[in-house]
Structures are given as C-alpha cells and as structure tokens.
Amino acid sequence: MANKRANGEGSINKYIVNGVNKGWRASISVGRDENGKLIRKQFYGKTQKEVKEKLEEFKKQLNLGTLPTDDKITLEQWYHTWLFDYKFKELKPTSFERYEGVYRNYIKDTSLGKIKLKDLRVTHLQQYYNKLMDTDNKPASTIKGVNGRLKPCLTEAEKQGYIQKNYCKMVTVPKDKTIKEINVLTVDEQKKFIEGIKGHPLELMFLLALSTGLRRGECLGLKWSDIDFNTGMLTVNRTLQRFTEISRDGSRQLKVVEQLPKTKNSIREIPVPQNILSRLKDHKVEQNKNRLKIGESYFNNDYVFCNEIGYPIDDKRPARNLKSILTKLDIKPIKFHGLRHTYATRLFEADVPPKTVQMLMGHYDISITLNIYTAVMPEKKLEAVDKLNQIFAL
C-alpha cells in the first residue's frame, strides 16, 4: 500500500510491472513544465528503505538549493554557465582564455556538448576522446587538456546533483609521449649572440633574461621599483600578460594585464651581474630624458622595458626579434624561454647546487630544475659513469 504524504513531500509505492513486483518507487513533484503539467522526479530501489533514503536525500539537497529542477540542461549549456558564473573570478585572465578555448573548440556545437547532463556517461567521453585522436588526429596533449579542464566543470555538476559521478575521472586519457626538447645556447653561441645584439632596441632585455633567468612576462612586467641598485638585487613581483577578454555573449577584446607571477615560488629575489646593473642605470637615465622630452603624453607606469611613450612592449615582439637575430647569426633559433634555460645551464656548468638554481629560477618543485639539469648536462652523466667505472674497477 502506498505511503501517503503531503503534497510536495513525495510518495513511496511498490513498483509493479505487468503484475510482477520489481521493488519500490519513490516519487516527488519538482515543478511544472511550460504547459503547466506536473513534473515528477522518481527513484527506484529493491527495498522500501532504499528508495526512502534516496527520496530524503533528494529533498534535503533540494531544500539546500544544490539540486537543479531542469533535467534538460546539456553539457554545452552547463560548461558555459559554470565557466562564466563559477570560474570567471577564480581564474587568471590567461587561464580563463584557455578554458574558454576548450568550450569553443571541443564542447560547443559538438556531439559531446549536446548530450544532456543527466544522460552523460563515461562511454560518451571515451568515444569522443578516441574520435579526437583517431579521426581528427589531435595529439594526446590536447585530449589531456580537454579532459583536465572539463574535470572541474563536472565536479561542480556532481556537487549540484546534475550527474551522479565525475566521469572525467574514469576515462582513459592517452599518454603524452612527446619528448619536450630543452634548447639552449652553447657558451660560444651565447658570446656570438651577445656580440650580435649590440645596439638592438631589445638588447638589454635579452641580456637581462640571459643573466637572471626571467620569463618573458616577468621581463615585460619589471618596474624600476623592483631593482635595488644599492644591493644589486632584482625582485620579481609581477608578470605582464596580453590576453583576450571574452564576454558571455562571445565578444572579444584584446587587453594587457599585470598579474601575480606563475607560482608563489616565482616571487623571488635575484642578484644582477654588475655589468648588467650598470647597463640598467644607463638605460634609466636615457628613459628619464625621453620622458621629460615627451612630457604629459608619456604613459608613466614605471616599466623598465616599454616603447617610446611608455606603453608596454608587444609581448610577441621579443620572440620574433630573437628568432630573426639568431637566424641571421646562423644559430639554431630558440624560444625566448630558451634564454631562461640557458641561464640555468650556465649555473649548472658553474656547479651551482640544484637547490640554489631552483630558488633563482622560481621553480615550485626541484624536480623541474633537475629535469632541465639532466636534459642540458649530458657530459655530467658521462662523468658519473666514469666515477662508477673507477669505483668498480677490478
């Protein structure tokens, strides 16, 4: 016999199909559709106790406002809502741009995105990822990136009761077998490069990157207030990033923003070589002269590296110029980040302890430092083998 309850409290009945008892069923009204028809949520179980617990848990979550009443929401709709309503204020602008890129390229208007959240299963994700790799020839790193950014989205969906489990945690993501090369300048190439950039507008930025290991954004965000000419120390406090601001309606606007460095460890003090410090002093004098000459039209934000009227340098310019210079010098081009790795290599060659290199580089984990060390110092491996040969020599 049915357990009668007040309207909105739900009811529990035996679940009988074609005269066969299939267990128990609980039912509760959750609203009305656009035509005014009552919408009911149902739960099934083998025992009355089981469905009663499911019903009570649903009512509890519904009262807390953590459960949706709309079972029609799709993955595409939810990802967009989650991104702009939950994630927007949490992410750095550049990170938000990457999350939005996953939505635009891999969720919106796709077979996966059109699946209702309540129907989503691990099989849907697995088949979609397999298609991306096997049919669309997407690399493993792309699939890993899509799943990695979809995972927190589904965590929130699970929390709010749209799905029972976070299926991103259950898929098999292909391993990224790409070997990341660490390209650096040799000692001879570095000398040739330093000679070749004399008089170049970005000469001092390149020299600073080579002598301190600053990232590109850290160089661009460096201010005169960050340099102590008395102690010869430079403090990394910020990074300058160019990003595309994306509105909910999809409109886009290019902006430049100051933000905290990559990690907490990236906020650090670095000693500046004396000759570079002298060059910085000269650069400051020339910049001040130019600022006085231009007057009120000068955009004074205290940046060490800026254009003629004080505006930040285009963040793509250093990399373009570096490639052009190295090509002309008949040196294999490296990325701007390669100057940072070159700095680390020179420290390793000088037998600076890895822990010290980690602090100077601002790595949050020493394993990152050691990975660079083993990649760029093959001769050290040979030295280690020679020592072992001596130990085990008969």
Does 30 or 80 have the greater pLDDT score? Answer: 80
Tens of pLDDT, residues 33-76:
556 666 677 778 889 888 888 888 777 766 655 445 566 789 99
Percentage of the chain with pLDDT > 70? 87
Lowest mean pLDDT among 122-131, 236-245, 383-392: 383-392
Tens of pLDDT, residues 137-185:
999 999 999 999 999 999 988 877 788 889 999 999 988 777 677 888 9
In the predicted structure, residue 227 carries a pLDDT above the cut 70: yes
Q: Domains (ranges, CATH) in the chain?
A: 11-64 (no CATH), 75-169 (1.10.150.130), 187-384 (1.10.443.10)
Give me the DSSP letters along 87-133. ITTTS-HHHHHHHHHHIIIIITTSTTTTSBGGG--HHHHHHHHHHHH
Can you read off the two tokens belonging to residue 92?
């750095």
| DSSP annotation of 164 | S
Give me the DSSP letters along 236-299. E--EEEEEEEE-TTS-EEEEEEEE--SSGGGSEEEEPPHHHHHHHHHHHHHHHHHHHHHGGGS-
Tens of pLDDT, residues 323-366:
999 999 999 999 999 999 999 988 888 888 889 999 999 988 88
pLDDT for position 2? 45
Helix, strand or coil, per DSSP, at residue 86:
helix
Residue (of 361, 26, 337) closest to 185 by Cα position: 337
Return mean pLDDT, the chain. 86
pLDDT for position 6? 37
CB 236 within 8 A of CB 268: yes
Mean pLDDT value of segment 259-270: 87
Mean pLDDT value of segment 179-199: 90
pLDDT for position 89? 77
74 has which bridge partners? 116
pLDDT for position 31? 59
pLDDT for position 291? 92
Can you read off the two tokens belonging to residue 294?
């231009």
Tens of pLDDT, residues 293-322:
999 899 989 999 999 999 999 999 999 999
Tens of pLDDT, residues 81-120:
899 888 877 888 888 999 999 999 999 999 999 999 989 9
Helix, strand or coil, per DSSP, at residue 13:
strand
